[in-house]
Amino acid sequence: MAGKSQTSAGTSDGLRRLVIVESASKIAKIADYLGPGYRVEASAGHIRDLPQPSQLPEDVKKGPYGKFAVDVENGFDPYYVVDADKRKTVAELKRALKEVDELVLATDRDREGEAIAWHLVQALQPRVPYRRMVFGEITREAIRQAAQEMRDIDDRLVDAQETRRILDRLYGYELSPVLWRKVRAGLSAGRVQSVATRLCVERERERMAFRAATYADVTGRFAPRGEAGEFSARLVQLDGARVATGRDFEDSGELKRSSASAGVAHLDAAAAEALARSLDDAAFAVRSVEEKPYSRRPAAPFITSSLQQEASRKLRLNARATMRAAQRLYEGGYITYMRTDSIQLSAQALAAARAQARELYGPEYVPDGPRAYSSKSKNAQEAHEAIRPAGEVFRTPAQVSGELRGDEFRLYDLIWKRTVASQMHDARGTTATVRLGATSADGRDAEFSASGTIISFRGFLAAYEEGRDEVRDAGADAADTERRLPPLERGSALSAADLAADVHETSPPPRYTEATLVKTLEEKGIGRPSTFASIISTIVDRGYVRYKGSALVPTWLAFAVTRLLEEHFPRLVDYDFTAAMENDLDAISRGEAERVDWLTRFYFGAGGPAGPAGAAPAPGGGPSGGAAEGIKGLADDLGSIDAREISTVPIGEGIVLRVGRYGPYLEGPDADTGELLKASVPEDVAPDEMTVEKARELLVSQSDDDRVLGQDPATGRTVVARVGRYGPYVTELLEDDAPATAVEERAAAKKTAKKAAKVKPRTSSLFKDMSVETVTLEQALALLSLPRVVGTDPESGEEITAQNGRYGPYLKRGTDSRSLASEDQIFDITLAEALAVYAQPKTRRGQVARPPLKELGPDPETGQPIVVKDGRFGPYATDGTTNATLRKDDDPETLTLERAAELLADKRAKGPAPKKAAAKKTAAKKTAPAKKAAAKKTAAKKAAAPAEG
């Protein structure tokens, strides 16, 4: 734990204070700003959490906490433990607490920070008064002001965070087993991640169903006769009927009914080309000129979600990278707190932004009074100010360029520009739209249109312009495009040139990017500013979504999981239901709802644990709104779920895609013979690219690549050789739902009697001197039999196996692996030869062992040569099996054989060190706190009589 202690003297009131922040990177600055009498230490985030049920002490596992580490029958009481990697931190904080008169909890100002402060009190059990200190920026003025305005811990925010944590635990632990049993082992379901995944899947389904439509129009270049000022225009009307654009077509490729009934003219390429030719000698004239004043307001200052969106558009930063850079800027004192949904600026910030805009761009760019922005959000969990440069006077990007680099500088530049621009005048100008037309040689009336905006006063655009997301019809609205039209009057004759058909094709709905997904989640009220980055990271890390450039592409696994949830648990992935849960959590944070009542309704249903429905609605609405059923026991009865059907996607012509235990694969008949073919689906083939033609190509190409070697006499399964992603290999073929063999059933029974036996095809890479064309069935069966048991180490009793791996052939004894010289040794090496390999000093892959410091001779007890080596923790003596660290008085240069043998004998007599798992278990028992309800009462008592500060 990194800390900074000031002098032992107290503060101005004579008290010594311990200040605990979340991040060690804040310590130096905050300690400096607070001055003498303050000692600043860091908790490094959360120190306590709900453990996995398997990590609970044995006596607790058998009780009401055993399933979730939450007692759902008694007020949803959580069982918290100090994280294993935070025990040392907690011990050091307790020692520091003994030397002070007051504890100051200066964790972040959102729900998570409030909860961390509360957990620190529960873990530290301070005997001195404690107070809460919050600040929005790490500047001298903000820190000193916060020290004068300390408060108690806000139990409402703590309740809201605890409710969210328990909610996510209940949701995941009830729903994930459904996915394990019906889709694939090891999957996870999350309250928000499942909804975010569904959004991506629904967009991909739209793309899969999309059929492109072709339409055309005519463009040309026009100019006043005999004058300069050429401009381009597009055909918009033909014989009084509006010419079709991309907006007039359904995703099925058909013209929309409303457009068809309105008589919209749908031109194809040939018709547009013919019209262009018939207009070559036509007399064009201006039919109308319309001018409107143009005004555009600056965007509001950044909140967390808008910062993530804009950083994605302009800086190509993903949400996680954006938040990392923002965190460093905040901790460095460059910006205010970066997790907020408030677009308000403090009076100090308004004055700073206006002064800087006036200084840099001129007084005419700054309105008489500050701009105010309104937000629909009434959440209490976030900071109360937008993200902005820190301080009473903003530092310009030029002033911090010597201190910041890379993403941090670019993000600061973006935040500075947006903040300053938010307090500048509107951009003003004029938008002009001109209509011009002519009669074609074949008598049709053709009308063209052109528009442009003339910016007469740039206003905030001098500092900043907001980015925009991809749209499907990019040419639909050019009103905001700064384009100057020449002076034109109604009736003015125009010359035309370069008249040509312009053919278009409708485009499918664009996939979500991080920016557009965050925007959609925010619009639907799903998640909160501090969670968007982790939501996206989770669905990517868990294999539900992958990146293709900046686009988020759902995997076939996501299709199977989403279909299961939509068909059997639709409420849990309903957008409005999920948003209502977020609103309820906000209501708890405002003290408008009670967490136990809300969790009871969510878990047990509207009737609560007693069973009958009809309980009064929850104070915050949400899950109780018309939903009588809770999520308790979701995995108890899954007989109605057809796992094979859920994981099957029809492609067409009898071909289906299945999501198997080992990835997606195609199954379909051979077009000529009718033989059933199978083929794995490459990762780089997106779902919307899986057409019948693509599927047929994969089935044919992969079936040609398989070389059937014969049948395994022991199992009757077909053995094939093929080339895969990582090179040539052999494997056995089996149906996806094939029954387990007796051997597999016995092996599964050893693992757990509760789990059904699982079938897993044996697979093994070919040796370097083998090829798919020449490998025999005998060789393949030998490879599939690996790993080979070489024998048992007589000293440790552990089994030694020989096998082939990613980095070549190796031996394995427990967790100790040693490389072999050649692949042939896998089948040939004897136990004696293997033990000789283990007797040699271990080296890292690709490294050469360092020579010993000294060779002493054979060990009197084992007969093995004793040498002195330099190790990670200093010099030690070894006989190749036992290692003994030298004592302080043992000089490697003068160490004798007798002394080394004595050290080794002592080490052997002590036996092996106790296993870490046992140590962890013991530690968990010692650190498991009393039930949270009692602890919370104690915290409330201590908070009632804080010291003045």
- Residues marked as catalytic: 337
- Which has the closest alpha carbon to 679: 759, 670, 548? 670
The span from the CA of 267 to the CA of 541, in Å, is: 47
Q: How far apart are CA 16 and CA 34, in angstroms?
A: 12
Structure tokens at 528: 């909160």
Nearest CA to 546 out of 341, 691, 687, 670 is that of 687
The gap from C-alpha 192 to its chain's centroid, in whole angstroms, comes to 11
Pairing of strands 214-224, 493-505: antiparallel
Measuring CA to CA, which residue among 151, 20, 150, 147 is closest to residue 94?
A: 20
Tokens of 97: 């607490």
Of the candidates 887, 668, 569, 758, the residue with the CA atom closest to the CA atom of residue 185? 758
Rounded distance between C-alpha atoms, residue 79 and residue 601, angstroms: 21
Determine the Cα angle at 643 with ends 171 and 745, to 5°.
100
* Helix or strand (DSSP H, E) at 162: helix 155-182
* Backbone φ and ψ of 91, nearest 5°: -60, -40
Closest CA to 875 of 893, 896, 861: 893
- Determine the Cα–Cα distance for residues 434 and 233; give it in Å rounded to an integer: 9
Both tokens assigned to 809: 């052939």
Specify the long-range contacts of residues 809-812, CB closer than 8 Å, at least 24 apart: 811/837, 811/838, 812/787
**Token pair 């040392």 in the structure block, residue:** 88
440 to 278, 279, 289: CA distances (angstroms): 5, 5, 22
Distance CA(169)–CA(50), nearest Å, equals: 9
CA distance 203 to 509: 7
Q: What is the DSSP letter of 54?
A: G
Using CB atoms within 10 Å of the CB of residue 226, give its burial: 0 to 12 exposed, 13 to 18 middle, 19+ buried.
exposed
Classify each residue of 874-911 as buried b or exposed e, where b means 16 or more C-beta atoms within 10 Å of its C-beta.
ebbbbbbbbebebeeebebeebeeebbbebbeebbeee
| C-alpha atoms less than 13 angstroms from C-alpha of 461 in its C-beta half-sphere | 14
Residue 39 CA to residue 35 CA, distance in Å, equals: 9
Which amino acid type is present at position 20?
Answer: I
Q: DSSP assignment, residue 914?
A: P
Q: In what order do the strands lie in the sheet with 727-732?
A: 707-711, 718-724, 727-732, 763-765
DSSP 20: E
Task: Judge whether 477 and 519 are in contact, CB under 8 Å.
Answer: no
Please name the residue that has the structure tokens 């000093």: 841
Rounding to the nearest 10 degrees, give the CA dihedral for residues 482, 485, 487, 492.
-150
Residue 89 DSSP SS3: helix
Query: In the numeric block, which tokens belong to residue 501?
Result: 């058909």
CA distances for 95 relative to 9, 17, 91, 122, 938, angstroms: 18, 13, 6, 15, 21
Task: Report the half-sphere exposure of 293 (CA within 13 A, side-chain side).
Answer: 5
Please measure the distance between the N-terminal and C-terminal CA atoms of the chain and give it in whole angstroms. 26
The pair of structure tokens assigned to 925 is: 């028992």
The whole-angstrom separation of Cα 173 and Cα 170 is 5
Q: Please tell me what DSSP assigns to residue 813.
A: E
- Residues making up the chain, counted from first to last: 949
Q: Which of 242, 314, 745, 611 is nearest to 234 (CA)?
A: 242
